[in-house]
Structure 1
Amino acid sequence: MRVAMDPDVDLALRCAWLSLIGGYTHEEIAARISTSRTKVTRLIQAAQRAKLVKVTVEGAPANCVALEEKLAAAFGLERCSVTPDLGEPDLPLSALGALGAHVIHAAIERHNASVVGIGHGRTLSACVDALPLMDRPDLKLVALLGSLTRTASTSPYDVIFRFVGRTGGTGYCVPAPFFCDSEEVRALFLAQRDIVAVRELAESASVAVVGIGSLGDRYGLMTGGMITTSELDALHEAGAVGEILGTFLDAEGRPLDVELNRRVIATNLESLRGREVIAVAGGPTKAPAIAAVLRNGVVNHLVTDEVTAQELVELAPFVASKTVSTAKPRADVA
């Protein structure tokens, strides 16, 4: 346990264990620790607010299972996980975070992973917050993209080192911008010894966890200051529909021949094939972007919410009949 054991935390944990694991009533716990029932309730609530209590529900509602099967068949996925709709008005961070954490934890255990590649974004951040504590000092958590961003909510640095706090592992970031000012500047960064070492470590990851970006007005890379309004306009003109690890794709999942794709410092999508690549994504207006990324074929495990899953099922008849690979891997993008 990595939580400082001050008396209040210790008592909150004791009450949570007695209630949720031991099955004691609040009255019985109060008698056992010589306090009031009201204080017991407050202590358990404090443990929950501090994210010391994680709840896992085994199984899924029938509609979610049906959607998982339909999406796996439509997009050629090896796995698909759909969380029930919790009625969240905007990005369903609570639902996606809880299910994403469960999926990530299971994948690490299933592969006995020693190296995990990590993307960026608010959804992955929510997954890390919901992860159970793991005793994995051998685990290496490595950024799949440049870690120097303007805001913590989109930074792999922030996600990775909070992941380290949940697992006891070691974090590795790419000390470079996500997007460089020019292709020449990018080449200079890629020649640096430290960056080469981290990128080589990323190549050994057996599990990769990524987000998916849609190019709306609230697109995270734009609100985070990493791309400009004019660059976003140019992407729309070029036919960009979705983004994964800084690579912009058209509706068929093909990487676009645009300047930003040549200035990004990120793992080559082609190099991720053959591993378990988990994409956690959902929410209003996200379905077209997710469909484009799934059609690329690099993602083989989708985690999404029930509403988005239904939209993807409805989109499926109108998209390409099968998942396609990228036309030509860019050897200079890793």
Structure 2
Amino acid sequence: MIEGRSLATAKSDSDADLAARAAWLHYVGGMTQSEVAKRLNVPNTRAHRYIARAQNEGLVRIFVDVEATDCVHIETELMRRYGLGYCRIGMEVPDSNPIPLKTLSVVGADFIMQAAAGRKHSVIGVGNGRTLAASVNAMGRQASPDVQFVSVLGGLTRSFAANPYDVIHRLSQKTSAASYLMPAPLYANSAEDKQVMLQQFGISETMNLIEQATLIVVGVGDIGSGEGGISASMLDGALAAEDLRQAGAVAELLGQFLSADGSILSSPYDDRVMAAPLQSLKGREVVAIAGGATKVPAISAALDSGLLTGLITDEATARAIVALPPT
């Protein structure tokens, strides 16, 4: 007889197995949801939940064999214009969100899985944010014992609760790879506090591991739009974003700021940010996963900075960036 925690574990394993079977019968077997329900001897509503769970946990991957010629042309133009070594544009799908997470998450998940499966990078740095979290959630389960993941910036809130968009724990679940969280907020309270924190066990080791990362996957934040921008809770009060805009900030990258022409902008946060300095990204592969109409100026600034070697975005955002006048 299984009791207590073992009983809960057994039920979870059983549900996971049923979710996988339901998805297989629906997508591979071509059964309707009612037919799946009958086959598994469960109510229709439960069959629907099982199939949805399989999708959410990345157990279902759909491949479409099509040549998206227009997207390839735009990818080529972005690579030429910004000197990128890699560019992937996801085709448009209906999405009511200001940030096209459906498209970005699928293409982003594929990139991260390929990077984790290859032998080129033994340490991969990963940022935080809604888009990166969605990309990791869309990944299938893939054992990647030869790679380590590390957070490249602090992800704790001011109350030291976990960041809701933290991706490291989920990456560990998906890949069974060693994954290291930066156990710190995005910004220390002061420059002095940052120096003290950098000496602490856990943080100093994480910073050393970040220096070893040969691939860094980041998001791009805009300043204060509320749609994929850095949140006011991370900054010094509600007016902080406006102060940054007045100073010329357009984009946020690893908690640091860029002006419209891609120049690294000095800010009061530079001595407090718990992240790798932007200058330290040079010479490494740095791929951004970002998109959405509100982010076009920010992504353009990130591209102009010369810090990025790769970009994953959606079709509408890519077209908008290509349409911008040359800087």
Fold similarity call, TM over 0.5? yes
Aligned to 2:296: 287
**Which residue of structure 1 aligns with residue 70 of structure 2?**
63
What is the match of residue 275 of structure 1?
A: 284
Which residue of structure 2 lines up, in the alignment, with residue 331 of structure 1? none
Cα pair 1:120 1:210 within 8 Å, conserved: yes
Distance between the aligned counterparts of 1:3 and 1:98, measured in 2? 31
TM-score relative to the length of structure 1: 0.83
**Given the alignment, which residue of 269, 289, 294 partners 1:260?**
269
User: What amino acid is aligned across from residue 317 of structure 2 in structure 1?
Assistant: T
Aligned pairs, how many?
316
Q: Which AA in structure 2 matches 1:162?
A: R
Partner of 1:102: 110
**Equivalent in the alignment of 2:16:** 9
Q: Identity rate of aligned residues, in percent?
A: 38
Q: What CA distance in whole angstroms lies between the structure 1 residues aligned with 2:302 and 2:134?
A: 21
Q: In the TM superposition, what is the alpha-carbon distance from 1:178 to its structure 2 partner?
A: 1.0
Partner in structure 2 of residue 305 of structure 1: 314
The one-letter code of the counterpart of 2:277 is N
Aligned counterpart, 2:4: none
Change (3 A) 1:311 1:3: farther
Match of 2:55 in 1: 48
**TM-fit CA distance, 1:15:** 4.0
2:130–2:165 Cα contact (<8 Å) kept:
no
Q: 1:115 aligns with which of 117, 123, 136?
A: 123
Matches within 5 A, 1:75-94: 75-89=82-96, 90-94=98-102
CA pair 45-142 structure 1, distance change in 2 beyond 3 A: closer
Q: Check 1:233–1:30 CA distance in 2 against 1; reply closer, same or farther (3 A cut).
A: closer
How big is the shift at 1:184? 1.8
Structure 2 CA distance for partners of 1:158 and 1:257, relative to 1, 3 Å: closer
Q: 2: distance between equivalents of 1:203 and 1:145?
A: 12
In structure 2, C-alpha distance between the alignment counterparts of 1:103 and 1:112, rounded to whole Å: 13
Counterpart of 2:135, as a letter, is C
Structure 2 unaligned regions, length at least 5: 1-8
Query: How has the CA–CA distance of structure 1 residues 10 and 217 changed in structure 2, closer, same or farther, with 3 Å as cutoff?
Result: closer
Tell me the amino acid that sits aligned with residue 14 of structure 1.
Answer: R
Q: Distance in 2 between matches of 1:149 and 1:110?
A: 33
Residue type matched to 1:65 in 2?
V
1:49 to partner: Cα distance: 5.0
User: How big is the shift at 1:36?
Assistant: 8.9
Question: Aligned partners of 1:31, 1:216: CA distance in 2, in Å?
Answer: 46
Q: 2:138 aligns with which of 115, 130, 148?
A: 130
1:246 is aligned with what amino acid?
G
Q: Is the 8 Å Cα contact of residues 121 and 211 (structure 1) preserved in structure 2?
A: yes
SS in 1 for 2:155: strand
Q: CA deviation at 1:261?
A: 2.1
Match of 1:326 in 2: none
- Which of 169, 176, 179 is the matching residue for 1:168? 176
Q: CA 1:200–1:49 in structure 2 vs 1: closer, same or farther (change >3 Å)?
A: closer
Match of 1:141?
Answer: 149
2:250 maps to 241
